[in-house]
Amino acid sequence: MGRSNFLLSVLCVAQAAAVSVRQIVTQPVVSPHAATSSFRSVAPNMVAELRKTVAKGDGRDGDATISGPVFSKPLSTPDPVPEEGIERAIELMRSGALFRYTPGVLSETSLAEAEICEYTGFKYSVGFNSCGSALFIALKCAGVQPGDEVLANAFSFTAVPSAIHHAGATPVYVESTRGYTMCAADLRERITPKTKFLMLTHMRGKVADMQAVYDLAREHDITVIEDCAHALGIQWDGMQLGRQATVACYSTQSAKVINSGEGGFLCTDDAEIAARAACYAGCYEELYKQHMAAPPAAVFEKV
């Protein structure tokens, strides 16, 4: 691999997620609350253009008129990086500031973490190289220990059980409804006195009965981690999916709502979980001070 291709690969992993999310805020940002306009302005446009269609049946049983928005391009086609994002990526390569903890540089990753918080409503966020990595770190930070059982969707993506195995735990699969969401009735059947954790996946953006799921979680004191890889921008009862969870993880892989090639964000309102996650991300020697959407220093010192 040539040097230029190597640099491009490094950039994609280290900063492209931030560039795509921010699209681009070039002015200095002094607080997470100031980093709002760019993400909110582009988020509605990060999905394929929609058009209205009506499919009419021929009168036979089971036919129905279907009306609603549909995608006008293949779902597998990623959104292009906007010109301003490309220009900013070139600036970063010319500067050499590809590391998220480059001394004296407020990184694109840190700015993106602040903006994902503003968009989703979480207090804290840590960027990772993938949503799968974020899920693994979420499990570790939430207290999963080797030998623990973690409830998970039977219909999911391999990154979910992989993250559970990587954490040393065992996935316990919960059956799906006909709508391919987690079945609350089967979830109740899978809960045992040993059950401490649930990783709830919104596969393909399909949403389970969140009221029933969280009623069970509260009843049995279960910590919920939501895999929102496919669910950025999707709401339940007016709230972004993941907001009820102890930790929620979002993806910016090419096939998702935001295209950065690869990337993911761990989001939480729990200060200690956020501090642990940032430590896993590599904030040694007080580099946590370069995180914008992060807890106070005292929390980092504690963990």
Tokens of 303: 């963990």
> Among 146-150, 169-173, 247-251, 255-259, whose mean pLDDT is lowest?
255-259
Distance in angstroms (rounded) separating the CA atoms of residues 282 and 276: 10
Contact 285, 144 (CB under 8 A): no
> Among 29-38, 125-134, 209-218, whose mean pLDDT is lowest?
29-38
Residue 48 has pLDDT above 80, yes or no: no
Average pLDDT in the 128-138 region?
A: 96
- The listed range with the strongest mean pLDDT (60-64, 66-70, 188-192, 298-302) is 188-192
Tokens of 97: 């500031």
pLDDT of amino acid 40? 44
66 pLDDT band (50/70/90 cuts)? low
Contact 242, 226 (CB under 8 A): yes
The amino acid at residue 215 is D
Residues 155/70/131/187 CA torsion (nearest 10 deg): -30
Q: In this predicted model, which residue has the larger pLDDT, 93 or 54?
A: 93
> Among 5-14, 17-26, 136-145, 261-270, whose mean pLDDT is lowest?
5-14
Residue 260 has pLDDT above 70, yes or no: yes
Distance in angstroms (rounded) separating the CA atoms of residues 214 and 28: 40
pLDDT of amino acid 239? 92
Reported as a single tens digit per residue, the pLDDT across 273-293 is: 999 999 999 888 888 999 999
Reported as a single tens digit per residue, the pLDDT across 231-240 is: 999 999 999 9
Contact 263, 253 (CB under 8 A): yes
Reported as a single tens digit per residue, the pLDDT across 176-224 is: 999 999 999 999 999 999 999 999 999 988 999 999 999 999 999 999 9
Tokens of 223: 């910590």
Reported as a single tens digit per residue, the pLDDT across 71-123 is: 677 777 888 888 998 999 999 999 999 899 998 889 999 999 999 999 999 99
**Global model pTM greater than 0.75:** yes
Contacts of 222 (CB under 8 A, 6+ apart): 151, 191, 195, 196, 197, 198, 216
Average pLDDT in the 163-177 region?
A: 97
